[in-house]
């Protein structure tokens, strides 16, 4: 009766809307007549109940639902998530809720806690049903579990067909307000097939499930998707202490510090913390704890191998194909907690031949992006900002465990990334290795001549490499990807690099190499060459770049202004004469798809822009040492449709103008011609006064301006008014996608923007040596919920003027000293 009465109350407003003539007539007479009869009947029934009953209270507390309380251990730090889910449960328009997260993160525990909460918390549900689904999805097992909760438990019912059971279950649940809790979904559960009515606002029922996959949440039609996160360090330590016990922790004064190291290795994953904590509960000597730390580093602790990794491996096994599995394992080549650039990862996969659906990198990026999304949705990778991903420490350890235990001998991985190595690995270790990573170590010398017939991947980046012997590359015939980046002391490439005839990718960015040797011409299969931020690079021999006929990715980006090198004749060095020869050689590369390049004169830029291929392929452009013209029309770059990064370095430009803007008046996209532009850097352009043209870059995420001594404002109110007059509409809100704002050595800067801006994505502001900047475009509505960080000097912060004290106090926690 209560449910029927509530439904009539809910339908009342709709019936009122059907009336007109002041409520004297209905737009739908039959509907209103039926509704009136139902109300009259319900009132009679209520009066009858009231006449028979003795009501001593006006209202009783709503009883708890019928629920089987399940055993559960004491938990740490789940209350906030439980409350978040409970708040979704009470929302009328939320029928289906998905809880997703890493294996072992506590999803089942959370669901159990919710189940038990229904037994103690007043609610409007009549029955709460728990069913384990798991990897081996069986419709009849779920039906039997539901049947036990709704009165179908005899042998004859269990012998019915799945279709008949579904009809019976549907008939019962359709007349109840129910909660169904499904644990551990690996694929979509067809509710009709099981017999579960779809939860809706009308029936008031709920379905809550757990899964490791965000995609499953979507397939199940979840209105709310809640990620169950790993524990914060303090809570992780609290859980670990509880499992180890005070007696063990107090058995030696040094054990607590060692125990913290062990807990840190668990990465906040409750399953690992509980498993290892229990295993260490009887370890009372320093030797045992030090041994455990070493075994964890090697992914060789028995408890992890036997109890944690196999459980996590289900997510790996559930990946749909071998390509995705190979791409996932590739990520463990990077060190712990490493920010892996998504773009670079996909480029390596492409050069390795893992993305075999496409021959061109711009097409392969779609497949690579889809794989990354799938790995993120499976909680095997984590987001790290907009452009990067990372691996959870325990997931990385699991991946390394897979490469050792399950991968074939010829696919062997050798990973000592971030392992504090000071010498190259023993050459005996190289023989059967397919992929090797010794990045982020302290290796200075590669002197051996390893024989590596199977080696395809070699990561040597971020070491202190100074010398590579000429014979080092002699017997590595199948090497495909070589990463030497971030070795700033490496001055010379060995002549033996010519032996790498299978090489398709070489990354020399951030090295100290001054000259590319002509021996590189032997690398005829090269698809990717990265020469970014090579601060000492002075010579690229003529005809070297043009010899790479299969090159698809070329990056050259200077860290600082280079003086013309007098040691090499102009005809032998494509970096002389304003890079004109380099541009001519790049024109001949018909397969080029991704280009980042410096330009050193307006004449050179005009020649560059006249070639259509560059317009479609340029992702980053660096304009260096422009002395003329003083007025630069930024709309000359409008055809660079994929331009993501733009840098002005040491230019004499006074103003960056939008001279051709009037030609855009008829276009609806008149203020966003640089829609792909996400990063702008302006370094040492000492005459430049403003950056108002940035309104043409609506998706700008990173803005870095340094050493522009005449700059007074970033966006000029006067110039924006002129823009509005030209295009006939008011200018849009600025910096809606901006994440980082870095302003340094702008001695005359007074204004970023004259009014407060919403900054919905802003996370970091850095202000250094901008003594005239006394106002920030912030108010109480700016950067809401972003955990904004504002870095600057103490003196500068004290001079900042706010619209009121409340605003100042609101941003006070955001301030961090720069020094």
Q: What is the pLDDT of residue 565?
A: 52
CA-CA distance, 740 to 317, in Å (whole number)?
Answer: 39
DSSP H helical ranges for 610-735: 612-617, 717-727
- pLDDT-flagged residues of the chain (< 50): 13, 19-30, 33, 54-62, 563, 566, 665-668
Do residues 421 and 400 make contact, with C-beta atoms less than 8 angstroms apart? no
Place of tokens 């008939």: 171
Cβ pair 715, 734 in contact under 8 A: yes
* pLDDT, position 210: 98
SS percent in the chain: helix, strand, coil, step 5: 40, 15, 45
According to the model, what pLDDT value does residue 19 have?
Answer: 44
Distance in angstroms (rounded) separating the CA atoms of residues 749 and 710: 8
Q: What is the 3-state secondary structure (H, E, C) of 401-423?
A: HHHHHCCCHHHEEEECCCCCCCC
Helix H or strand E encompassing 207:
strand 206-211
Q: Using one digit for the tens of pLDDT, what is the confidence trace for 302-315?
A: 889 999 999 999 99
Predicted pLDDT of residue 666:
46
Q: Please give the Cα distance from 429 to 450 (Å, whole number).
A: 9
CATH class, domain 79-227, is alpha beta
CA nearest neighbour of 484 among 503, 514, 452, 462: 462
Dihedral over Cα of 114, 116, 118, 122: its sign: negative
Q: In terms of Cα–Cα distance, which of 558, 581, 556, 577 is closest to 566?
A: 577
Instruction: Round to whole Å and give the CA distance between 171 and 63.
Output: 24
The tokens for 685 are 């352009």
pLDDT recorded at residue 21: 37
Measured CA to CA, the distance from residue 557 to residue 185 in angstroms comes to 48
What CA–CA distance (Å, rounded) separates 757 from 708? 23
| pLDDT tens track for 592-641 | 999 999 998 898 999 999 998 898 899 999 999 888 778 999 999 999 99
What's the burial of 616, exposed, middle or buried (CB within 10 Å: 0-12/13-18/19+)?
middle
Beta bridge pairs of residue 620: 596, 645
Residue 388 tokens read as: 């990067």
Give the pLDDT score at 358: 85
Q: What pLDDT is stored for residue 459 in this prediction?
A: 98
Question: CA–CA separation, 354 vs 610, rounded Å?
Answer: 35
**Residue 630 CB-half CA count within 13 A:** 4
Token pair of 697 as six digits: 């870059």
Q: How is residue 394 annotated by DSSP?
A: H
Q: What is the pLDDT of residue 249?
A: 96
pTM here is: 0.84
CATH topology of domain 308-407: Arc Repressor Mutant, subunit A (1.10.10)
pLDDT on residue 25:
41
Please say whether the beta carbons of 115 and 60 come within 8 A.
no
pLDDT value of residue 521: 95
């Amino acid at each position: 009766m209560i449910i029927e009465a509530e439904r009539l109350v809910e339908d009342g407003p709709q019936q009122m809307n059907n009336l007109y003539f002041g409520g004297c007539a209905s737009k739908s007479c039959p509907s209103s007549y039926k509704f009136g009869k139902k109300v009259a009947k319900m009132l009679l029934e209520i009066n009858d109940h009231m006449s028979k009953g003795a009501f001593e209270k006006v209202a009783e507390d709503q009883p708890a639902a019928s629920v089987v309380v399940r055993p559960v251990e004491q938990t740490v730090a789940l209350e906030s998530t439980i409350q978040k889910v409970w708040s979704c449960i009470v929302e009328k328009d939320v029928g289906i809720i998905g809880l997703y997260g890493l294996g072992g993160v506590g999803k089942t525990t959370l669901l159990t806690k919710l189940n038990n909460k229904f037994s103690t918390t007043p609610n409007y549900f009549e029955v709460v049903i728990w069913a384990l689904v798991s990897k081996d999805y069986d419709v009849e097992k779920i039906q039997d579990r539901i049947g036990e909760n709704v009165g179908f438990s005899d042998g004859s019912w269990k012998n019915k067909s799945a279709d008949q059971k579904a009809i019976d279950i549907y008939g019962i649940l359709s007349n109840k307000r129910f909660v169904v809790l499904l644990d551990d979904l690996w694929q979509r559960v067809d509710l009709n097939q099981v017999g579960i009515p779809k939860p809706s606002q009308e029936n008031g029922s709920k379905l809550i499930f757990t899964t490791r996959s965000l995609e499953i949440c979507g397939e199940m039609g979840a209105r709310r998707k809640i990620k169950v996160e790993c524990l914060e360090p303090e809570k992780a330590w609290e859980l670990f202490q509880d499992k180890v016990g005070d007696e063990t922790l107090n058995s030696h004064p040094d054990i607590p510090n060692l125990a913290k190291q062990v807990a840190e290795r668990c990465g906040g994953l409750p399953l690992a913390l509980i498993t290892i904590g229990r295993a260490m509960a009887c370890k009372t000597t320093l030797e045992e704890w030090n041994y455990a730390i070493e075994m964890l580093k090697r992914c060789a602790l028995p408890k992890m191998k036997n109890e944690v990794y196999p459980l996590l491996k289900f997510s790996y096994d559930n990946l749909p194909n071998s390509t995705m599995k190979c791409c996932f394992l590739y990520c463990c080549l990077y060190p712990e907690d490493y920010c892996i650039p998504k773009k670079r990862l996909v480029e390596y996969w492409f050069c390795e031949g893992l993305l075999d659906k496409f021959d061109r990198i711009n097409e392969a990026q779609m497949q690579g992006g889809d794989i990354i999304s799938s790995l993120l949705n499976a909680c095997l990778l984590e987001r790290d900002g907009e452009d990067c991903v990372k691996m959870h420490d325990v997931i990385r350890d699991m991946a390394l465990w897979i490469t050792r235990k399950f991968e074939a001998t010829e696919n062997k991985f050798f990973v000592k990334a971030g392992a504090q190595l000071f010498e190259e690995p023993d050459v005996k270790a190289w023989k059967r290795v397919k992929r090797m990573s010794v990045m982020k170590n302290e290796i200075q010398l590669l002197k051996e001549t390893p024989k590596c017939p199977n080696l395809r991947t070699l990561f040597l980046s971020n070491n202190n490499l100074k010398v590579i012997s000429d014979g080092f590359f002699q017997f590595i015939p199948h090497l495909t990807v070589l990463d030497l980046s971030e070795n700033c002391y490496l001055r010379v490439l060995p002549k033996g690099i010519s032996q790498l005839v299978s090489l398709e990718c070489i990354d020399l960015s951030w090295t100290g190499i001054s000259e590319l040797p002509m021996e590189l011409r032997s690398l005829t299969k090269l698809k990717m060459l990265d020469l970014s931020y090579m601060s000492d690079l002075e010579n690229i021999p003529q005809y070297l770049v043009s010899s790479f006929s299969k090159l698809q990715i070329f990056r050259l980006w200077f860290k600082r202004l280079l003086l013309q090198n007098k040691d090499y004749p102009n005809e032998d060095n494509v970096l002389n004469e304003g890079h004109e020869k380099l541009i001519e050689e790049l024109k001949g590369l018909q397969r080029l798809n991704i280009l980042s390049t410096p330009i050193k004169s307006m004449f050179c830029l005009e020649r560059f822009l006249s070639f259509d291929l560059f317009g479609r392929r340029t992702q980053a452009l660096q304009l260096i040492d422009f002395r003329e013209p003083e007025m630069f029309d930024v709309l000359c770059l409008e055809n660079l449709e994929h331009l993501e990064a733009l840098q002005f370095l040491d230019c004499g430009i006074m103003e960056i103008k939008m001279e051709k803007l009037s030609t855009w008046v008829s276009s609806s996209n008149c203020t966003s011609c640089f829609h792909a532009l996400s990063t702008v850097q302006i370094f040492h352009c000492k005459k430049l006064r403003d950056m108002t043209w940035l309104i043409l870059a609506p998706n700008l995420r990173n803005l870095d301006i340094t050493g522009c001594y005449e700059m007074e404002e970033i966006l000029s109110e006067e110039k924006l008014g002129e823009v509005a007059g030209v295009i006939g509409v008011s200018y849009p809100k600025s910096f809606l996608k901006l994440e980082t704002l870095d302003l340094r050595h702008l001695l005359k800067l007074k204004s970023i923007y004259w009014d407060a801006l919403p900054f919905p994505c802003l996370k970091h502001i850095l202000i250094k040596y901008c003594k005239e900047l006394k106002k920030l475009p912030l108010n109480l509505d700016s950067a809401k919920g972003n955990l904004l960080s504002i870095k600057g000097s103490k003196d500068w912060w004290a001079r900042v003027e706010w619209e009121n004290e409340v605003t100042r106090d609101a941003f006070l926690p955001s301030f961090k000293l720069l020094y």
